Every structure is written in C-alpha cells, then in structure tokens.
Amino acid sequence: MTEVTPAREQPLPAAMPMLLSFVAGYVDSYTYLALFGLFAAQVTGSFVIAGAELATHDYGIVGKLAAVLAFLVAAAVTTALIGVARNSRRTALPSMLGLEALLLAVFVALILLGPPIQGATDWHGIVAGLFAAMAMGSQSVLVRLLMKGIPQTNVMTGNMTQLGIEITEIVLAWRRRVREPNRETIAEFEKVRDRLWVVLSVALGFLVGAAAGAIAFATTNVRGAILAVAIVVALALWSLYRER
C-alpha cells in the first residue's frame, strides 16, 4: 500500500498555542459559570462534578455526562476529517480551526439569543454545553495531531507535570553549560529553554483565559463569550492566509 504524503504545512506561529489555550480557559470559565458547573475543556473536572452529583442524586449529572460524550464524538470526527484532508494532500489546520470556530459560534448563539438558562437540568443549557464541549474536543485533537511539539492547550494537569520536568531540565542544562561551555551544551540549553517556554506560555494562556472569562461573565454576562469565537475565527483566517 502506498503511503500518501500529506501537504507541507508552514511552521506554527509561536502565538497560536497560547491563544488557543487562552480560548480554552476562557470557555471553561464561561461554561462553569453560565451552565452551572460544566467544564467544557477540562473533562476531568466534569467527571469529578458528575461523580459528586451522582452521590447527591443531582440530575445535573445528565448534562455533564452528555458533554463528555460530545467531547469524545467531536474528537473522533475531527480525527477523521484530518485524515481525509491529509489523504487529499490538503493542509488541515485552517479548516479544523474553522470547525472549532463554528462549534463555538453555535454555543454562543444558544446562550446569547436563547432564553435564560435556569439550572443544570435546563435542556437549553445542556444543548449549549454540548456544542462548547465539541469545540474543545475538536481543539484537543487539532493540537495533538497538527501541532507537533505543542502540549495540550486545554488539559493543564499534564502541563503542570511537564512544567516541573522542564524547570528541572533547564537547571541541569544550565549547570552543564557553565561547567563545559561548548557548542553541544549551549545547544542543549537552548533546546530545553525553548521547550520550557512553550509549556509555560500554554499554561499562562489558560490561566489568563480563565481569569478573563470569569471577569467577562461578571461584567458582560453571556455577551463576553463572543470573544472566544472572534479569536478562533482570526486564527483560522490567519492560518489560511499563511498556507496560501
């Protein structure tokens, strides 16, 4: 069987992972506050809350588990779409960012134009949460498959572990460079420094995004969610322009 060579992709802009991480944190704050405890990006959080609601016989568990399933379905569909794009020798990043933007736009439209969400069992809020979770599932896959060397932009537990590893590695690399200043030790230090910056920028992006989302919700209510859509649309257009 002949292997299909994927289309050549341009080097990833340094700001893109940080901005995607910002969006994930921003959306997570919005879904948690507007949809009564739903974590669209951090699926682990939704599992924990669903477990607690199960123990307390809270029917809000339905929305949390449905969102987890939606995240999984979107991840599978995005993976398939990336495979189709690669088999046809097209670059997949612009279209996958467009898909995420579309899913986020539906989420925002539902919470912005629909009736006020009254609680975790409100079907309108559950449907909105499904689209937010699908957007984050799509982002998770596009980062994993299309952004080599970039940590996950919506899962911070692993990133905190990696950050601890990279901090230790850069201290050790710095000591080796001081003791034996040569081309090899200098190159090693620079490589570790670059990895540290990538992980740190993604973690900071999520933290700032989560804080910004909470502030935006407190000051503008659901209207502030439009910012997340605008950022992903801009990234999709940016990526399309660079590819062409």
Question: What CATH number does the domain containing 148 carry?
Answer: 1.20.1250
Structural domain boundaries enclosing 61: 15-243
Residue 204 lies in a domain: yes
pLDDT tens digit sequence for 181-209: 999 999 999 999 999 999 999 999 999 99
Assign 244 to helix, strand or coil: coil
> pLDDT tens for residues 23-49?
999 999 999 999 988 889 887 767 677
Q: Tell me the C-alpha distance between 222 and 235, whole Å.
A: 22
Mean pLDDT of the 152-174 span: 94
Q: Residue 5 falls within a domain, yes or no? A: no
Q: Is the pLDDT of residue 174 over 50?
A: yes
Residue-level pLDDT at 211: 97
Q: Look up residue 97 and give its two tokens.
A: 């960012």
Residue 1, in any domain of the structure? no
In the block, tokens 């975790």 appear at: 120
Mean per-residue pLDDT, 152-167: 93
Cβ pair 239, 54 in contact under 8 A: no
Give the percent of the chain with pLDDT over 90: 74
134 within a domain of the structure (yes/no): yes
pLDDT tens for each residue of 92-138: 999 999 999 999 999 999 999 999 999 888 999 999 999 999 999 99
Q: Which amino acid is at 59?
A: Y
Contact 197, 166 (CB under 8 A): no
Q: pTM score, two decimals?
A: 0.89
Q: Is residue 150 part of a domain?
A: yes
Domain count, the chain: 1
Residue 70 included in any domain: yes
| For the chain, the helix, strand and coil percentages under 3-state DSSP, each to the nearest 5 | 80, 0, 20
Q: What is residue 159's three-state secondary structure? A: helix
> Are 225 and 108 in contact, with CB atoms under 8 Å apart?
yes
- 147 in any annotated domain: yes
CB 133 within 8 A of CB 67: yes
For residue 54, is pLDDT > 60?
yes
User: What pLDDT score was predicted for residue 27?
Assistant: 97
Cα distances (Å, whole numbers) of residue 149 to 146, 198, 219: 10, 9, 37
Residue 9 lies in a domain: no
